[in-house]
């Protein structure tokens, strides 16, 4: 379901945001494990998150992750390039993951089975799950961040041309579904449902 497509990139609906949160919560533990076990370093995670944010065009996430990426040691030029969609500076061993992150965001959370299998082959299942957790964590930020930043920019007299006050109100009010999505995710984890399906 796609909404508010006046110009630029499409915004997420309340229904899509529910599922983005659900999937993100289900894989958050893999992101935490990947950090703890040093399967993914901070720069790698920030590259993934910047790639997703570039696709979704979330102003608040761009700001936050630019700061984190700089703190992780990434150069301002690389960050600028990534947010412009230029991937020239990405280390070769991270490129497949960053391209998968873009594919995941481009398909609105519905990557191809082949692309996921390729990530598992390249990185192994543990790192692949950490990569998926990173992508889904930033997708949560993007889905809700776009609406909130659009609303605050509207109050400052700089509305997002993709958005409308009605859209922003719907998304902000839609956050009441987050606890239901959280419970849904925890039950799915309890019953060991697959973390990704096609």
Question: In this predicted structure, what is the pLDDT of residue 4?
Answer: 40
pLDDT of residue 1: 42
pLDDT averaged per 10 residues in sequence order, the chain, 198 residues: 48 95 97 94 94 91 88 90 88 96 95 98 97 97 93 92 93 95 97 94
What local confidence, expressed as pLDDT, does residue 144 receive? Answer: 93
Residue 186: per-residue pLDDT: 96
d(CA 81, CA 10): 22
Q: How far apart are CA 145 and CA 21, in angstroms?
A: 12
Pick from 157, 55, 165: nearest CA to 100: 55
Q: What is the 3-state secondary structure (H, E, C) of 42-89?
A: HHHHHHHHHHHHHHHCCHHHHHHHHHHHHHHCCCHHHHHHHHCCCCCC
Say if CB 14 and CB 172 are below 8 A apart: no
Which pLDDT belongs to residue 58? 87
* Homologous superfamily assigned to 12-190: AhpD-like (1.20.1290.10)
DSSP H helical ranges for 107-198: 113-155, 165-173, 178-190
């Amino acid at each position: 379901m796609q909404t508010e497509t006046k110009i630029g990139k499409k915004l997420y609906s309340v229904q899509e945001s529910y599922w983005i949160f659900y999937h993100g919560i289900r894989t958050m533990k893999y992101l935490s494990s990947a950090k703890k076990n040093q399967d993914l370093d901070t720069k790698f995670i920030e590259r993934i998150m910047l790639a997703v944010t570039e696709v979704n065009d979330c102003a608040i996430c761009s700001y936050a992750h630019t700061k984190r990426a700089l703190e992780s040691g990434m150069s301002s030029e690389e960050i600028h390039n990534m947010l412009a969609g230029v991937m020239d500076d990405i280390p070769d061993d991270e490129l497949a993951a960053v391209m998968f992150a873009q594919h995941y965001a481009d398909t609105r959370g519905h990557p191809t089975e082949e692309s996921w299998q390729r990530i598992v082959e390249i990185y192994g299942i543990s790192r692949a799950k950490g990569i998926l957790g990173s992508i889904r964590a930033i997708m949560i930020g993007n889905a809700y961040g776009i609406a909130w930043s659009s609303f605050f920019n509207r109050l400052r007299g700089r509305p997002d041309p993709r958005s409308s006050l009605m859209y922003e109100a719907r998304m902000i009010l839609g956050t009441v579904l987050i606890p239901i999505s959280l419970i849904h995710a925890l039950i799915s984890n309890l019953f060991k449902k697959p973390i990704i399906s096609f």
